[in-house]
Amino acid sequence: MKRIMKGNEVFIEAALQAGCKFYAGYPITPQNEAPEYMAKRAPDFNAVFIQAEAELSAINMLFGAAAAGFRCMTSSSSPGIALKQEGISYIAAAELPCVIVNMVRGGPGLGNIRASQADYFQATKGGGHGDYHMIVIAPSTLQELYDLTMNAFDYADYYRNPVMILGDGILGQMFEPVEIKPYKPLFKLPNKNFVLDGCKGREPRVIKTLLLQPPDLLVKHNIHLTEKYEKIKKELCLFEEYKTEDADLIIVAYGISGRIAKGAIDEARRDGIRVGLIRPITVWPFPSDVIAKATERANKFLVVEMSNGQLIEDVKLSLFGKENVFVEHFGYGGGWYPSPQNIYKKIRDVY
Amino acid sequence: MIWLLNERFLMKYWFFDFDSFVMVEININSEKCKGCGYCVIVCPKKNIRLSSKLNKKGYHYAEIISEKNCSGCGMCFQMCPDLCIEIKNEKDNER
Amino acid sequence: MYLKRPSSLRERETHYCAGCGHGIVHRLIAEVLDELGIREKTIGTAPVGCAVLLYNYFRCDIIECAHGRPPAVATAMKRLMPDRVIFTYQGDGDLAAIGTNEIIHAANRGENFTTIFVNNAVYGMTGGQMAPTTLLEQKTTTTPFGRRNDIEGFPLRICELLSTFDGPAYIERVAVNSPNNVIKAKFAIKKAFEYQLNNKGFGFVEVLSMCPTNWKMSPSDSLSFVDKMMEYFPLGVFKDRG
């Protein structure tokens, strides 16, 4: 059963269907429809909705909700996500599950309310302090947004890690038909044996991230986190390849840029240009191997992103050691949008 | 002559009328004590002092001067931040 | 009568300085948990401050929060688990500096948890810097010439501030610098927890406490300094919805 829905409402509906019982958020354009829709829908699912006093408070409310063992979500846009970074670091350090949605807007600073992809570094390289990672998922259609948001809760619970949905202003604002599928867990989920719900019948538990003594306790924890991230990298890597079988030029783009690039690729193919697309769906873990393997056929890569140059660094890292490979960049931050026409023109310039 | 008697005896005398007497057991754990001296300050009978000796942590620990003198009021217990003090305060007919 | 360690407090020596008020406040809360029989359904929050290690002392579930955020964490936990007892334990930096936003809004929403605010007019853990509650002319490591209102502003009276809201159910300021005050503090803390158990709403107890180390005083002088604090932070009930 398909419904026309707005992007910001899609991920809220998916979250509620997946059993999210707690949402805290703060109004910020371009995701305001999300807390508004959640405020209306939460009672139908017996979920708690709180309009928090700030994004900072919202992420800390999630820290408590996750510690209490409930699926929880917050959503915001770039400046608000910046405010959440300390809290995200704490959640990752305590290995608690939660889902954070970022509808990226133009920056830096207050920026504007157009879409952007300039939070890539913030999402994939940390953002908060310390060695940690969020699983970062970048949908490009509203159906993907729905499906992947549901899956995000499973990844979060399974790996005990925060998961970010890296959307953008366009995704949040657009209308598309979406099939509201019922929730089915992706895998068997572990028991939550860390939950703080009162120590009746068991030893009291502590959730903490201050690991002072002995001096190598925090080192051991960091090693454990590294091993967990290596495990996630091996087990979870989502991407899409579009017309790459015989391509000499590969476009690498995610989210809305990846979707728009397909139009340009089709146009270029009509001119005989052998161009294809690798679209990372998880940008962390990043499909490095897929990009490296593409050098068997292609020697030119065109990175299309709505930023001054962030995704391109991961592409270059993936191509490390490969000889005679060229990487071009197309895009700007600040609310610049790619179009099939301007990408097509760039393809012609670069090919 | 009664005022010359120590208060404990007085209490014994007083409660003697009611066919019971009060027994106080007070214990200050000298190793836990950090020598803050609050108990010394608040004891209404000035019955606690900081020892001239040091415990393993290096503090002049608190010690009861005369256990017989303790009325079991519990003021020292209320003020001790380190729960060094235990006071058992029983009436005979409660045992 | 048997005065001894309450069972909600572990048999463990604390890291607090000699004469620190935290030890007394910990004991009072633990006695209340024992007397009300709620230890097994209580979850507390540890602040960032000297009391960050309180999870080593309380025998109940504890979550260590980011600086200032316990009221947000407690909000979520209480909303999701209304039948559990949630308390936050915060110092003056945690509650009155970085966390003012969180406590104001949690109090305003009338969240049904209990906050114990330990006010010792200084930042203890980090070595004695000025706190929002530092008194005028009080010397600290960041006010070496004494706090001046034209540079550092006036001390914040949190009880008075929160009492202007309609949300909270019970607000009282107490102290732990004499046995009399300690016993009154215990009554206040117990009342705040009872209000939570009876779903009466947000309970807030501010406890004026000693910090001999960072006040650079002997413990006995620090008891008198709390009397001086009371001139600016009067004891009493500021709100009681009954």
Domain ranges of chain B: 2-94
Are A289 and A268 in the same domain? yes
Are A169 and A26 in the same domain? yes
Neighbours of A41 (CB within 10 A): 17
- Whether A216 is in a domain gets the answer no
pLDDT for A223-235, tens place per residue? 999 999 999 999 9
Q: Do B85 and C9 touch (CB under 8 A)?
A: no
Neighbours of A79 (CB within 10 A): 16
Q: What is the pLDDT of residue B23?
A: 80
d(CA A177, CA A147): 13
Q: What is the pLDDT of residue C1?
A: 80
For chain A, the average pLDDT equals 96
Interface of C with A in 82-101 (CB under 8 A): 84, 101
Decide: helix, strand or coil at residue C32: helix
Question: If pLDDT is split at 50, 70 and 90, which confidence band does B92 have?
Answer: low
Beta carbons within 8 Å of A197's beta carbon, 6+ residues apart = A68, A69, C43, C61, C81, C84
d(CA A238, CA A242): 14
Q: Which of A299, A255, A23, A289 is nearest to A139 (CA)?
A: A255
Segments in A1-76 forming alpha helices (H): 7-17, 33-41, 55-67
Residue with token string 């360690």: C5
pLDDT for A112-164, tens place per residue? 999 999 999 999 998 999 999 999 999 999 999 999 999 999 999 999 999 99
> In chain B, what percentage of residues exceed pLDDT 90?
65
Of A235, A256, A289, the domain-final residue:
A235
Bond prior to A214 in cis (omega within 30° of 0): yes
Beta carbons within 8 Å of C139's beta carbon, 6+ residues apart = C145, C146, C147
CA of A30 vs chain C CAs: smallest distance (Å): 24
Are A255 and A147 in the same domain? no
- Whether A195 is in a domain gets the answer no
Beta carbons within 8 Å of A196's beta carbon, 6+ residues apart = A67, A68, A69, A205, A207, C43, C61, C62, C63, C77
Are A178 and A251 in the same domain? no
User: Which chains border B (3 or more CB–CB pairs < 8 Å)?
Assistant: C
Are A343 and A268 in the same domain? yes
pLDDT for A311-340, tens place per residue? 999 999 999 999 999 999 999 999 999 999
pLDDT at B95 over 50: no
Q: Do A60 and C65 touch (CB under 8 A)?
A: yes
d(CA B13, CA B22): 10
- Burial class, C34, CB count within 10 angstroms (exposed 0-12 / middle 13-18 / buried 19+): middle
- Does residue B38 sit at the C interface (CB-CB below 8 Å)? yes
Residue A206 bridge partners (DSSP): C62
pLDDT at B93 over 80: no
* Region of residue C49 (left: phi > 0; alpha: psi -120 to 50; beta: else): left
Q: What is the pLDDT of residue B94?
A: 52
Q: What is the pLDDT of residue C242?
A: 84
- CATH architecture label of B2-94: 2-Layer Sandwich (3.30)
Sequence ranges of the domains in chain C: 22-240
- Burial class, B69, CB count within 10 angstroms (exposed 0-12 / middle 13-18 / buried 19+): middle
Are A174 and A269 in the same domain? no
Note the pTM of the prediction, 2 decimals. 0.90
Question: If pLDDT is split at 50, 70 and 90, which confidence band does B10 have?
Answer: very low
What count of CB pairs under 8 Å joins A to C? 117
Comparing alpha-carbon positions, the chain C residue that sits nearest to B74 is: C3
d(CA C177, CA C31): 18
pLDDT at B65 over 70: yes
Are A87 and A148 in the same domain? yes
What's the structural domain count of chain A? 2
**How is residue A333 annotated by DSSP?**
S
C22-240: CATH topology? Rossmann fold (3.40.50)
Chain A positions touching chain C (beta carbons under 8 Å): 21-22, 24, 48, 50, 52-54, 56-58, 60-65, 67-68, 70, 72, 86-87, 90, 196-201, 204-210
Distance of CA A279 to the CA centre of its chain: 13
The residue type at A110: L
Q: What is the pLDDT of residue B21?
A: 61
For residue B95, CA distances in Å to B21, B27, C28 come to: 11, 19, 27
The answer to whether the CB of A12 falls within 8 A of the CB of A176 is no
Decide: helix, strand or coil at residue A63: helix
The answer to whether the CB of A118 falls within 8 A of the CB of A104 is yes
d(CA A204, CA A19): 27
Nearest to A65 among C59, C76, C84 (CB): C76
Are A229 and A266 in the same domain? no
d(CA C13, CA A205): 19
**Lowest-pLDDT choice from A277-281, B85-89, C200-204:** B85-89
Question: If pLDDT is split at 50, 70 and 90, which confidence band does B19 have?
Answer: very low
Read off the pLDDT of each residue in C193-198 and give the average, rounded to a whole number: 98
d(CA B39, CA C158): 30
Q: Judging by DSSP bridges, how do beta strands A98-104 and A162-168 pair with one another?
A: parallel
pLDDT for A267-319, tens place per residue? 999 999 999 999 999 999 999 999 999 999 999 999 999 999 999 999 999 99
pLDDT at C121 over 90: yes
Q: What is the pLDDT of residue B18?
A: 45
Q: Do C220 and B59 touch (CB under 8 A)?
A: no
pLDDT for C139-176, tens place per residue? 999 999 999 999 999 999 999 999 999 999 999 999 99
Neighbours of A187 (CB within 10 A): 10
Read off the pLDDT of each residue in B59-80 and give the average, rounded to a whole number: 95
ipTM for the complex shown: 0.94
- Structural domain of residue A297, as residue ranges? 239-350
pLDDT at B90 over 90: no
Residues from chain C that touch B88, judged by Cβ atoms under 8 A, are: 1-3
> In chain A, what percentage of residues exceed pLDDT 90?
99
d(CA C102, CA A99): 22
Are A275 and A324 in the same domain? yes
d(CA A335, CA A307): 8
- Whether A321 is in a domain gets the answer yes
CATH number at residue A244: 3.40.50.920
Are A38 and A147 in the same domain? yes
Q: What is the pLDDT of residue B17?
A: 40
Q: Do A67 and C62 touch (CB under 8 A)?
A: no
Q: What is the pLDDT of residue B12?
A: 41
- Whether A204 is in a domain gets the answer no
Are A261 and A227 in the same domain? no
Q: What is the pLDDT of residue B16?
A: 38
What number of residues does chain A have?
351
